[in-house]
């Protein structure tokens, strides 16, 4: 009898139904995430039957508007080779939002997935030829949240007589973003290869590699983005909720104390219809690190293979919106904030590359090798090119007059007047603005002189104002925050000592404003006596 199962490592399907003998409806699991991405299942006892599969929750997928680029992969038998379906076998109707594909299994055990799967078995097979290498050490750093061994690799030549610098690479913070694992294979292969670039790497660099940050999600077949209790890539703070991040932060600390820390790269994949691109840390904007990380991205573009290009022109400043409320707790932001290191994200396409063709694992691996070659050239040349500014691309700057913009404003104009004063002007009927005061308010100071928020609207403006209070310890986010909801035209005391966490030494204030009907100034003040005395 025909069955659809996901009872294997990395399997992911739910709500399977059979509206007709040859048609199977299914859903990609969310597993607690607000949106999904991946499906993977096995067709059992379906040999020689022409079957049509209909995904019935496409609108719950991240970036579903680009679903026309999705081209699933298939494998005959447990030991077969994965291949993409022919594009003629896949149909996407954006009006009805119907995604379906047809195939005829050649065996009684045929595997299907939204993209090439990659789990522990694939990683073990990749590492097998290198196990005896004196330049590779694989350890278990800790136990994952579900009790699995968390792998951490160190690539180095212990006999090198040259000064060496540290580079850190991590992948699968969002477990379903499989392209990063293949890119990581190329990075490791390039370091260990008997090439000029490999020799130079082993003499001058040390690579610290975390291949599966959300290993539990990889094994369980989860996508993982924004999954409670906290997205792995929003957990980089002084009090992480995930044991994997709690162990990884001090491991990087230890390595950074031994070697000058040069580069941090987080490997991800974007929405299904997006191409590959290189994303510098938002914190680096306006600093020499922005120019240097951008220059490395240009070198990567030169070395990237034709079947997996990564062009800097495909970078969009709208990507600054992705991290949402916990934007300071992404891995790249945290690394740049803590160490001043050049930190970047490499987003690698699942399906179509910038040239229009479909990417294969060979292309992803080639991009990983290209990144290492680009890094070697960049370090050898020591040249930095000026990076473009958001303004030059028609985007607002991410910083204005002592204020950070976590998201691009919509229908609102902002004018930074001073580091504690900013003006908002609505430009249409549904404006949105989000800005954070860059100033740190010290705990000992605000306990003596509480903070007030003054709203000077002058025109009796109305609107919704949300204040997010972020807590820090020694300049790093603690992972704690509080929300307050205010009204324009009021003068509000926002220090309420009994409501705050116990471990922190400073705070910053962030404002999200919607539905504003008139101009308004927001002023933060603390230079007045404590009214409780």
Q: Is the pLDDT of residue 491 over 80?
A: no
In three-state form (DSSP H/G/I as H, E/B as E, the rest C), the secondary structure along 346-409 is EECCCCECCCCCECCHHHHHHHHHHHHHHHHHHHHHCCCCCCCCHHHHCCCCCEECCEECCCCC
479/354 Cα distance (integer angstroms): 37
pLDDT band at residue 1 using 50, 70 and 90 as cut-offs? very high
- How far apart, in whole angstroms, are the C-alpha atoms of residue 75 and residue 8? 14
What's the pLDDT tens digit per position in 470-490?
999 999 999 999 998 887 766
The two tokens of residue 515 are 């539905």
- Cα–Cα distance list, 471 to 260, 289, 304, 328, 400 (Å): 29, 25, 41, 11, 22
Contact in structure between 143 and 243 (CB atoms under 8 Å): yes
Rounded CA-CA distance 205/164 in Å is 5
Are the C-beta atoms of residues 447 and 434 closer than 8 Å to each other? no
Contact 261, 206 (CB under 8 A): no
Is-cis flag, bond preceding 229, omega within 30? Answer: yes
Task: Quote the DSSP letter at residue 286.
Answer: T
- Which parts of 52-119 fold into alpha helices (H)? none
Find the angle CA(300)-CA(388)-CA(304) to the nearest 5 degrees.
10
- 76-92 pLDDT, tens digit per residue, is 998 899 999 999 999 99
Does residue 187 have a pLDDT over 60? yes
Is the sign of the CA dihedral 198, 275, 347, 365 positive or negative? negative
Per-residue pLDDT, 450? 74
Task: Reduce the secondary structure of 163-181 to three states and give it as a string.
Answer: CCEEEEEEECCCCCCCHHH
Q: Are 98 and 90 in contact (CB under 8 A)?
A: no
Residue 18 backbone phi and psi in degrees, to 5: -125, 85
Quick one: DSSP state of residue 229? T
Helix then strand count (H, E) for the chain reads 9, 29
Predicted pLDDT of residue 318: 60
Q: Collapsing DSSP states into helix, strand and coil, what is residue 244? A: helix
What are 73's strand-pairing partners? 84, 113
Give me the mean pLDDT over the 422-448 stretch: 90
Largest CA distance in the chain: 83
Judge whether 23 and 72 are in contact, CB under 8 Å: no
Determine the pLDDT at residue 354: 92
Residue 135 has pLDDT above 90, yes or no: yes
User: Among 61, 74, 72, 1, which Cα is nearest to 27's?
Assistant: 61
pLDDT of residue 486: 81
pLDDT for 228 equals 95
Instruction: Please state which of the ranges 90-99, 102-111, 313-322 shows the lowest mean pLDDT.
Output: 313-322
Question: pLDDT category, 96, cuts 50, 70, 90?
Answer: very high
Return the H-helix or E-strand segment holding 335.
Answer: helix 331-339
The pLDDT tens digits for 259-310 are 999 999 999 999 999 999 998 887 787 788 888 888 999 999 999 999 999 9
Average pLDDT over every residue of 325-329: 88
Residue among 131, 174, 376, 165 nearest 267 (CA): 174
- Give the residue from 270, 349, 343, 344 showing the smallest Cα distance to 307: 349
């Amino acid at each position: 009898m025909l069955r659809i199962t996901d009872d294997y490592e990395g399997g992911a399907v739910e709500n399977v139904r059979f509206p007709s003998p040859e048609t199977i409806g299914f859903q990609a699991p969310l597993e607690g995430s607000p949106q999904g991405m991946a499906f993977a299942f096995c067709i059992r006892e379906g040999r020689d039957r022409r079957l049509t599969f209909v995904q019935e929750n496409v609108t719950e997928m991240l970036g579903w508007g680009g679903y026309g680029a999705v081209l699933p992969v298939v494998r005959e038998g447990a030991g077969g080779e994965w291949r993409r379906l022919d594009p003629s076998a896949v149909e996407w109707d954006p009006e009805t939002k119907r995604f379906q594909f047809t195939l005829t299994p050649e065996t009684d055990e045929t595997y299907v997935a939204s993209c090439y799967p990659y789990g522990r078995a694939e990683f073990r097979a990749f590492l097998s030829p290198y196990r005896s290498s004196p330049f590779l050490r694989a350890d278990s750093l800790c136990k994952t949240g579900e009790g699995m061994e968390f792998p951490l690799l160190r690539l180095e030549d212990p006999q090198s007589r040259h000064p060496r610098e540290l580079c850190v690479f991590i992948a699968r913070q969002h477990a379903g973003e499989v392209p990063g694992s293949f890119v990581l294979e190329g990075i490791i292969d390039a370091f260990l290869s008997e090439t000029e670039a490999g020799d130079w790497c082993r003499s001058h660099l040390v690579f610290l590699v975390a291949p599966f940050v959300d290993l539990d999600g990889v094994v369980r077949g989860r996508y993982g983005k924004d999954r409670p209790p906290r997205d792995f890539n929003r957990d980089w703070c002084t009090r992480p909720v995930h044991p994997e991040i709690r162990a990884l932060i001090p491991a990087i600390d230890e390595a950074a104390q031994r070697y000058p820390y040069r580069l941090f790269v987080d490997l991800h994949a974007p929405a299904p219809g997006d191409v590959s691109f290189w994303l510098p840390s938002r914190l680096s904007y306006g600093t020499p690190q922005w120019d240097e990380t951008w220059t490395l991205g240009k070198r990567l573009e030169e070395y990237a293979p034709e079947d997996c290009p990564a062009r800097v022109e495909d970078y969009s400043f709208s990507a600054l919106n992705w991290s949402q409320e916990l934007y300071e707790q992404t891995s790249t932001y945290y690394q740049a904030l803590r160490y001043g290191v050049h930190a970047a994200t490499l987003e690698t396409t699942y399906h179509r590359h910038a040239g229009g063709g479909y990417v294969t694992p060979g292309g992803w691996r080639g991009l990983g090798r290209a990144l290492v070659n680009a890094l070697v050239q960049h370090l050898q040349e020591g040249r930095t090119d000026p990076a473009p500014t958001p303004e030059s691309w028609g985007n607002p700057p991410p910083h204005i007059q002592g204020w950070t913009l976590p998201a691009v404003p919509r229908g609102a104009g902002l004018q930074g007047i001073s580091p504690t004063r900013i003006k908002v002007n609505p430009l249409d009927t549904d404006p949105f603005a989000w800005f954070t005061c860059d100033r740190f308010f010290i705990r000992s100071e605000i306990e003596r002189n509480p903070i007030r928020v003054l709203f000077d609207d002058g025109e009796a403006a109305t609107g919704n104002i949300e204040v997010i209070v972020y807590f820090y310890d020694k300049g790093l986010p603690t992972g704690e925050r509080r929300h307050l909801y205010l009204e324009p035209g009021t003068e509000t005391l926002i220090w309420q000592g009994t409501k705050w966490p116990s471990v922190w030494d400073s705070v910053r204030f962030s404002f999200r404003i919607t539905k504003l009907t008139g101009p308004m100034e927001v002023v933060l003040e603390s230079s007045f006596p404590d009214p409780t005395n």
